[in-house]
Structure 1
Amino acid sequence: MADAFVNWSGSLTFTPARSAHPADEAEVCRLVRRARETGTTVRPVGSGHSSSPLVRTDGVLLSLDRLAGVLAEDGDRATVLGGTKLRALGEGLYDAGLAMDNLGDVDYQSIAGATATGTHGTGLGFGNLSTQVVGARLVTGTGEVLDVDADRNPELLPAVRLSLGALGVVTRLTLDVQPRYDLRRRTWCARLDWTLDHLAELQHTNRNMDFYWYPRSDQTQVRTLNRADRPPVEQGVWDSAGTAPARTRENEVGPTHRTIPRDRALRFEEIEYMLPSEAFPACFAEVRRRIMARHRRVAAWRVLVRTVAADDIWLSNAHGRPTTTIACLQNAGLPHEEYFRDMEAVFREYGGRPHWGKKHWLTARELRPLFPRWDDFQAARRRLDPDGVFLTPDLARLLEPV
């Protein structure tokens, strides 16, 4: 019997029939072929940071931890193994004089897991991490190795870049990268009304910008990041006296992979929905109204607001539209379901799409209308996994209509 699996927040625990830690691609192929022959499901797993039950399986839980490292760098491209953790990837690229275009708020995830679930950072000009994928190599449901890029099977690239692990085991990825550079990170506290009044200007004048809202104090923490090798951004958003709205909490400079993510000592649960940006003001107002009226007593933590550029990836939450995200966080171990379900009702009212790696209660019936290329993804999935080797019960709930 395999050991029990526990995700990062501690909210998901299960015991697979078997845990596998293949050392190379050939071993992955053998494992998938054996599962296909025996009617067993295979579920690839990264670092287990997701709050959702995407990795849960009663079959084979396949870890990519031994398939890690940067394989090659060639100008503006880097090829990496799927199990490479984002923190190690950042260091490996930095040593080669390179950097990723953008990163998320934490760096515990593996690159294959982060891109498969649409992990994102913030910034009007930046898509989620999946948009940085220009090629992939995966072991399909038939145990065969398939390369997908602009020249080989290009029709599958919009599906493979963000696949939920439903198309195969991604053993390596080729990423768009750029010469390494430093960012200046600044954070400060401000009243909520000040932040909302200046939000559009902050978003348009900074490379990256997001903010936390703290319901119990009704205050915000604003964060901006800008390239350190360029003139400082003139915010133009200070008070009439020319001073910042509150004292600066952080003002530091460093490489992208050390400046954008932050360590999170406190574990938390999270629901996040991706909204059409034009719907954000009305949606956030209703979120705030409901939290203050119904959930302030139990909402012990914060609400995070970020932006994501539109893309053309079939299952991307930012497909076809500039996106603003609202995430509600709750300390692990505290009640969250009633609070999160109420927030989900608001997000859905305003056309939101759920983050694949975080809490939500939608099934294929509700999800299909939200993604214009949904049926194209399903056709690709059935082509690459005709026998459902990767279709665990939780994935079937998301992808297969009842």
Structure 2
Amino acid sequence: MSRTFVNWSGSLTFTASGQAEPADEDEVRELVSRARESGTTLRPVGSGHSSSPLVRTDGTLVSLHRLAGVIDKAGDRATVGGGSRLSELGERLYDAGLAMENLGDVDYQTIAGATATGTHGSGLRFGVLSTQVSEVRLVTGTGEVLDVSATSNSDLLPAARLSLGVLGVVTQLTLDLLPRQDLRRLAWCAPVRWTLDHLAELQQANRNMDFYWYPRSDLTKIRIINRADEVPEVPIEASRMSRSEGWYAPAELEIGPTHHTFPRHRELRFDEIEYMIPSEAFPDCFAEVRRRILDRHRRTVGWRVLVRTVAADDIWLSTAYGRRTTTIACLQNASLPYEDYFRDMETVFRQYGGRPHWGKKHWLTAAELRPLFPRWDDFQAARRRLDPDGVFLTPDLARLLEEA
């Protein structure tokens, strides 16, 4: 039976010929076998939070919501079902005395979808969520069940930890975790110039730090997170409460476990473009982004710009591969036009060596992406090895991954 799919923001709509909800790996293997024999495509789908067309297909959508939960726990590691929602997974891990070391700004995604697209939080010491993955179990395009880890098919681990869902259907992941802990979240508003002048200091002094810039007011909202038993050093300027200058006193938003402290509940839906910039290029890049928004887009920009940091890693398609990264995300209310604004921002991001977030809006194709990822060809070789018949390769993904 056909299914009309609409993503979280409402900007991606398509009709798939069918949808499957396998209960185990044998059913996943059967779905792959049927797609391979019929020459149709199969796309694993998570929660639908992404606004990029990675899941778009006229073939079959595969939801893994029945393959969820904590499967096994050993020390500070846990094996979880690929269809586990981050919100529910946080609760299950907490009950087991564990927590993910870092999370993104929302917990709507599934763990397989979040890691496959390079979802990230913020913090100089923390990589994309995929860096927390030590083992991946997937059903490849040939129907083989493959375990990938440091001791099994280790050559594929840098590809399988962040794969865009083109190596196979990820049924299980093993995560490296931390003992559960309480965190303290503080936020305050400050003038943009002060925030930029003190950015390095704030990033280094806190476990996690990010900020929003609001184009309409030209102010920022700074957010820091630290362990609850640590008292953060809040700059003296932030306690003056001089609202005429844009200051608002620090407010304790929450003390609680990791999975409650990082994500924010979003009633207002939005579309987003986010690029990962080499950290040393961030000051110049952000200055140009701010200038263009104030000069060209301020009247139509309905929301904010988010700045975060990500540690370097060695995952082949990670947008933080081989370099410390600062991210710039431009958000726009789902009810408002976004394309002219986002395309203009993309020209700036590309001038500074930016790499696009795989799960968000961008307009790059394989020829433009290949120079940005030093291990691009290695990933493509792994993809062709595990999916020789293109079971997971839709036209959208072919434009992303295969040069004409």
Question: What TM-score comes out, normalization by structure 1 length?
Answer: 0.98
Q: Which residue of 377, 380, 391 maps to 1:378?
A: 380
Letter in 1 for 2:303: W
Secondary structure, counterpart of 1:188 in structure 2? strand
Matched, 1:337 2:332: no
| Partner of residue 58, structure 2 | 58
Secondary structure, counterpart of 2:293 in structure 1? helix
Within a 5 Å distance, the mapping from 1:307-346 to structure 2 comes to 307-346=309-348
| Partner of residue 44, structure 1 | 44
| Partner of residue 196, structure 1 | 196
| Partner of residue 401, structure 1 | 403
User: Cα deviations across residues 199-238 of structure 1 (Å, max 9, x unaligned)?
Assistant: 1100000000000000000011100000113x31224x32
Secondary structure, counterpart of 1:136 in structure 2? strand
Letter in 2 for 1:120: H
Query: CA–CA distance in 2 between the matches of 1:214 and 1:286?
Result: 15
Q: Cα offset for 1:76?
A: 1.2
| Partner of residue 4, structure 2 | 4
Task: Indicate conservation of the 8 Å contact 1:98/1:179, yes or no.
Answer: yes
Task: Indicate conservation of the 8 Å contact 1:188/1:250, yes or no.
Answer: no
Query: CA–CA distance in 2 between the matches of 1:240 and 1:213?
Result: 16
Task: Indicate conservation of the 8 Å contact 2:241/2:249, yes or no.
Answer: no
Q: Which residue of 252, 255, 272 maps to 2:254?
A: 252
Secondary structure, counterpart of 2:171 in structure 1? strand
User: Cα deviations across residues 115-160 of structure 1 (Å, max 9, x unaligned)?
Assistant: 0000000000000100000001000000110000011000000000
Q: Cα offset for 1:194?
A: 1.1
Q: Give the % identical residues.
A: 75
Q: Which runs of 5+ in 2 are unaligned?
A: none
| Partner of residue 239, structure 1 | 237
User: Cα deviations across residues 90-114 of structure 1 (Å, max 9, x unaligned)?
Assistant: 0000000100010000000000000
| Partner of residue 128, structure 1 | 128
Q: Cα offset for 1:241?
A: 8.2
| Partner of residue 297, structure 1 | 299
Q: Cα offset for 1:247?
A: 1.6
User: Cα deviations across residues 355-386 of structure 1 (Å, max 9, x unaligned)?
Assistant: 00000000000000000000000000000000
Task: Indicate conservation of the 8 Å contact 2:44/2:64, yes or no.
Answer: yes
| Partner of residue 153, structure 1 | 153
| Partner of residue 168, structure 1 | 168
Query: CA–CA distance in 1 between the matches of 2:4 and 2:151?
Result: 41
Alpha-carbon spacing, 1:241–1:343, altered in 2? closer, same or farther (3 Å): closer
Query: CA–CA distance in 2 between the matches of 1:338 and 1:7?
Result: 21
Query: CA–CA distance in 1 between the matches of 2:58 and 2:237?
Result: 58
Task: Indicate conservation of the 8 Å contact 2:311/2:324, yes or no.
Answer: yes
Q: Cα offset for 1:197?
A: 1.1
Task: Indicate conservation of the 8 Å contact 2:188/2:238, yes or no.
Answer: no
Question: What TM-score comes out, normalization by structure 2 length?
Answer: 0.97
Secondary structure, counterpart of 2:84 in structure 1? coil
Query: CA–CA distance in 2 between the matches of 1:53 and 1:145?
Result: 26
Query: CA–CA distance in 1 between the matches of 2:164 and 2:127?
Result: 17
Query: CA–CA distance in 2 between the matches of 1:197 and 1:182?
Result: 30
Alpha-carbon spacing, 1:38–1:180, altered in 2? closer, same or farther (3 Å): same
RMSD after superposition: 1.2
Q: Cα offset for 1:240?
A: 9.7
Task: Indicate conservation of the 8 Å contact 2:132/2:176, yes or no.
Answer: yes
Task: Indicate conservation of the 8 Å contact 1:189/1:249, yes or no.
Answer: no
Task: Indicate conservation of the 8 Å contact 2:78/2:177, yes or no.
Answer: yes
Task: Indicate conservation of the 8 Å contact 2:238/2:248, yes or no.
Answer: no
Within a 5 Å distance, the mapping from 1:85-164 to structure 2 comes to 85-164=85-164
Q: Which runs of 4+ in 1 moved over 6 A?
A: 240-244
Deviates more, 1:244-253 or 1:54-63: 244-253
Secondary structure, counterpart of 1:54 in structure 2? helix
Q: Cα offset for 1:28?
A: 0.1
| Partner of residue 77, structure 2 | 77
| Partner of residue 284, structure 1 | 286
Query: CA–CA distance in 2 between the matches of 1:168 and 1:252?
Result: 39
Secondary structure, counterpart of 1:239 in structure 2? helix
Letter in 2 for 1:216: R
| Partner of residue 222, structure 2 | 222
Secondary structure, counterpart of 2:195 in structure 1? helix
Query: CA–CA distance in 2 between the matches of 1:122 and 1:240?
Result: 21
Task: Indicate conservation of the 8 Å contact 2:238/2:250, yes or no.
Answer: no
